[in-house]
Amino acid sequence: MSAATETPARRMTPTQRRRLSRAVQYAVVAAVVIALAVVADWGRIADSFFQIDIAAAMFPEVWTPFWNTIVYTLLAFVFGMVVGVPIALMRVSDFGPYRWFATAYVEVFRGLPALLVLFLVGFGVPAAFPGIQYPGGVYGQVAIGLGLTSSAYIAESVRAGIQAVPRGQVEAARSLGMSHTRTMITVVLPQALRIVIPPLTNELVMLTKDSSLVFVLGVTTATMELSKFARNELTSEANATPLLVGGLLYLLLTIPLGLLARRLEKRGDTR
Amino acid sequence: MNTEATPIVEIQGLHKRFGDNEVLKGIDLQIAEGEVVCLIGPSGSGKSTLLRCVNLLETPTEGTIVAAGHDMTAPDADLDLARRDIGMVFQHFNLFSHMTILDNLVIPQVRVCKIPKATAVAEARRLLAEVGIEGKEQAKPSQLSGGQQQRVAIARALAVKPRLMLFDEPTSALDPEIVGEVLSVMKGLAAEGMTMLVVTHEMGFAREVADRVLFLDGGVIVESGPPADVLANPKTERARSFLHRVLHPVD
């Protein structure tokens, strides 16, 4: 103890130590970046990913799969909300059978891979019930196939939101003479949905990417989504540029979603 | 006090247990129309539970409750209908946080009483003016001070035209300097003849406004009478030491 106080110059202060550690981290990152830049074969990378003419040739055809990606995502999300919110309400119900059913539903569809559910909807169900017709053809299949998985996640998010609404809000509503159902619709759900905007946006982003699974249903040029289109181009051009274009188009969808969520969240804060 | 008319609140043999913990151990209480009754007592004495049993926010374990003409403890009681006649004001206001101040008063009227929107808005404005809240109609509850929120909460409870008002420590969450603005609204309400059951630690309010003060301890009513008797000359040692602690906290 006394030695340390007598020779302060030999020991670093916390600030000095933090600065040194920061400097070491910067040095490591810089070294890695420089090494990569030196080692990489830039000509080859440019050839595989940045061929302007191949990228240009994808337009305007790429807008059809781009649009389909949006449509599939929205269909699945709407299905997920329409089914997920009631499931969430059943999970917090004081009627046992509702709770059991909702719990089983969530466990099943949260636990199964989206790909498997999509197969089940696309091939399993039609095989078991011959003659079954999904409304909207492949669009109906996607809405249900991706929506089932999504609804389980949405139900869990919304349930968490419902339980995060302060108990006093319910008591105030009930003491004014609102019924249980009326309280849910007028007071609890509007507040719960505001609370779960961030996880719901997350779900929408996940769905945007999961729409790339739709190819397993067997799609035509008209119903193709972005990933399948990019992979087809990859094969026919023997070049990776279509993957880059496809990836950028996904980001064109998901990044604005993230920004939107942040804005909605901020608006919720001022309530 | 008109003792011949049927009481607006009639509680008989009320017991309330939470698991092994018996919070109310046999309460009998009658409140006449227009009477203001203050419930005082140490924390954990069961006064909030008693209040919350009146509109059945808590379900009694035993006993019967008749309030505002409704048999609350009947197995087939329509509690939603009954609660319109029993307003409640909470310690933490519990205004609907996602609605504007105006909607906090309008929506209950429209949804619960099926009053046309235009009528409800006019009534909401009248009530807000009455509790001294003006120019805040489009604000959200969080933009108001605690005292303002509590006055809005009183106006909201009045919006569905109750015959009886329950107050659960309405000023306990407020800064001392704004307690007065809420108490004066309550005083005005009492002067208009509203029947009120008030859980409070404001002995000054109890002394000035209450017709009767009940001292609760250990789940039973220990003392009951006019404020001058209960507050100034408590008969039991329990009440005396409680009042001493409240009025002279430093000793």
Question: pLDDT tens for residues B144-188?
Answer: 999 999 999 999 999 999 999 999 999 999 998 999 999 999 999
Residue A5 has φ and ψ, to the nearest 5°, of -75, -25
Structural tokens at position A101: 């059913």
Distance of CA A145 to the CA centre of its chain: 16
CB contact B77 to A (< 8 Å): no
Does the pLDDT of residue A250 top 80, yes or no? yes
Residues contacting B246, CB < 8 A, separation 6+: B40, B201, B203
Provide the percentage of residues in chain B whose pLDDT is more than 70.
98
What pLDDT does residue A113 have? 93
Q: Which of A175, A182, A271 sits opposite B88 (nearest CB)?
A: A175
Q: How confident is the model at residue B6 (pLDDT cuts 50, 70, 90)?
A: confident
Given a cut of 60, whether residue A271 has pLDDT beyond it is no
Residue matched to tokens 């990378």: A45
Q: Choose from A9-18, A235-244, B188-197 the range with maximum mean pLDDT.
A: B188-197
Shortest CA gap A125–chain B (Å): 43
Q: Is A176 close to B83, i.e. CB distance below 8 A?
A: yes
B58 → chain A, closest CA residue: A171
Q: Give me the phi and psi of A159, to 5 degrees please.
A: -60, -45
**CA-based nearest distance A100→chain B, Å:** 25
CB B206 within 8 A of CB B197: no
* Per-residue pLDDT at A267 exceeds 80: no
pLDDT tier at B100 (50, 70, 90 boundaries)? very high
Q: What is the pLDDT of residue B4?
A: 56
List Cβ neighbours of B26 (8 Å cut-off, separation of 6 or more). Answer: B13, B14, B15, B63, B219, B220
Mean pLDDT of B109-116: 94
In the predicted structure, residue A269 carries a pLDDT above the cut 70: no
Distance in Å from the first CA to the final CA of chain A: 54
Residue B160 in contact with partner chain A when CB distance is under 8 A:
yes
Rounded-to-integer distance, Cα A87 and Cα A227, Å: 31
Which residues numbered 32-51 in B keep a CB inside 8 Å of some CB on A?
Answer: none
**Is the Cβ of B214 closer than 8 Å to some Cβ of chain A?**
no
Residue of B nearest to A192 (CA): B98
Task: Decide if B106 touches A, using CB distance below 8 A.
Answer: no
Residue from B45, B58, B107 nearest A171 by CA: B58
Confidence of residue B250 (pLDDT cuts 50, 70, 90): confident
Token pair, residue B51, equals: 């209040």
Assign B128 a pLDDT band (cuts: 50, 70, 90). very high
ipTM of predicted assembly, 2 dp:
0.93
Between B81, B140, B160, which is nearest A271 by CB?
Answer: B140
Give the model's pLDDT for residue B179.
92
* pLDDT of residue B119 exceeding 70: yes
The per-residue pLDDT for A270 is 46
Closest approach of A177 to chain B, Cα-based (Å): 4
Name the minimum distance, in Å, from the CA of B172 to any CA of chain A.
16
